[in-house]
Amino acid sequence: MNQMIDPRLLRAFIAVIDGGGFTRAAEHLNMTQSTISQQIARLEDQLGQALIDREARPVRMTVAGERLSGYARRILALQDEATLALGDRSGTVPVRIGLADDILTPDMARLFATFAAAHRHIRLDVTTGLSRSLTARYRDGEFDIVVVKESAPAPDCRVSFAEPIAWFEATAAGTWPDPLPLVTFPPGGLYREQMFARADADGRRWYVAFSGSSLQNVTTAVEAGLGISLLPVRVATGQRMQRCRLFGAEQAMVVSMYAWEAQGPYGPLVADMHGVLESR
């Protein structure tokens, strides 16, 4: 036997076994008794073995039929499962989102949860990271939506908001030594380069005392007293840190949202994200 077994023949076979005969199988499958009989005969011809003892009352399986029955049930169960899975569109439309680390706030996460519950066919693929990397990947088509930090928004920005930033140190920090220890993000981070430029402009000697890959790493290091850092005022508020007075005010950055489309499957999501960013 080299050809595939028709699941319809297997279904007729199991119906006969479960129903105890051809009559109940025909009723169960809404077919005529002769059709059921023909399907069993075709299955037996294909396998080259008798599967049903037609002389028995009620009918029963032959040894070959007993061996087949377990496999038949598994095949039919998998077919039903596959049909159900393909009929359910949940998570079949991906929306790829890139967010600067501190943009994934509880409010944004709740928005994603609400949107996903209302649009079960959409799957949200969210990536957090450094803004410059996220922007480059967006331009390369890897994301549908990004929210990033930058010095100034590009012309195709959907919306942007000012992000005040300031220097922070651990609460009750003492006098800082020379050279000045800095707590930074990895190379390529916007705050890192602005920190270096400001320290150089003020004629201060400095070194990187700690480099963290995430905002949480950086704020934890500042709270521990490893050094000072340039951070969003919104993020630092309420943490175990205070404004550092070694430097003056810094020019605010902007939080910008970009999306290839504002309509289509994720148009409502763009509008809702706009609302969350505006209320920050």
Longest Cα–Cα distance in the chain: 103
Q: Which residues of the chain have pLDDT under 50?
A: 1
Domain count, the chain: 3
Cα distances (angstroms) measured from residue 156 to each of 96, 153, 159, 262, 272: 18, 8, 9, 12, 19
The answer to whether residues 263 and 144 belong to one domain is: yes
Q: What is the dihedral of CA 90, 91, 92, 95, to 10 degrees?
A: 140
CA distances from 61 to 10, 40, 69, 93 (A): 13, 12, 9, 46
Residue 25 is predicted with a pLDDT of 87
Q: What is the pLDDT of residues 36-72, one digit of tens each?
A: 888 899 899 989 999 998 888 788 889 998 899 889 8
184 and 236 assigned to the same domain: yes
Asked whether residue 274 falls in the same domain as residue 141, the answer is yes
- Owning domain of residue 233: 165-251
Residue 204 lies in a domain: yes
Task: Give pLDDT, residue 92.
Answer: 67
- What is residue 17's three-state secondary structure? helix
Same domain assignment for residues 172 and 238:
yes
Residue 214 within a domain: yes
Same domain flag for 12 and 134: no
Number of Cβ within 10 Å of residue 123's Cβ equals: 14
Domain boundary (48, 69, 87) is at 87
Q: Extract the tokens encoding 169.
A: 């140190």
The DSSP output letter for 251 is -
Which pLDDT does position 261 carry in this prediction? Answer: 81
Single out the residue in 51, 67, 87 at which a domain terminates.
87
- In single-letter form, the type of residue at position 140 comes to D
Of the three residues 38, 54, 87, the one that is the final residue of a domain is 87
Please report, for the domain that includes residue 181, its CATH number.
3.40.190.10
Do 128 and 267 lie in one domain? The reply is yes
Beta 159-163 vs 253-259: how paired, if at all?
antiparallel
CB 11 within 8 A of CB 76: yes
In terms of Cα–Cα distance, which of 230, 268, 234, 264 is closest to 250? 230
Is 2 contained in some domain?
no
Same domain, 260 and 157: yes
In this predicted structure, what is the pLDDT of residue 102? 87
Helix 7-19 and helix 33-47, axial crossing angle in degrees, nearest 10: 120
pLDDT in tens, 222-247: 999 999 999 999 888 888 999 998 99
Could you tell me the CATH number of the domain that includes residue 32? Answer: 1.10.10.10
Residues 131 and 269 placed together within one structural domain of the fold: yes
> What is d(CA 200, CA 228) in angstroms, rounded to the nearest whole number?
15
Cα angle at 73 between 68 and 78, to 5 degrees?
125
Is the domain of 259 the same as that of 156? yes
Q: Strand 165-170's sheet: what is its strand order?
A: 229-232, 165-170, 241-243
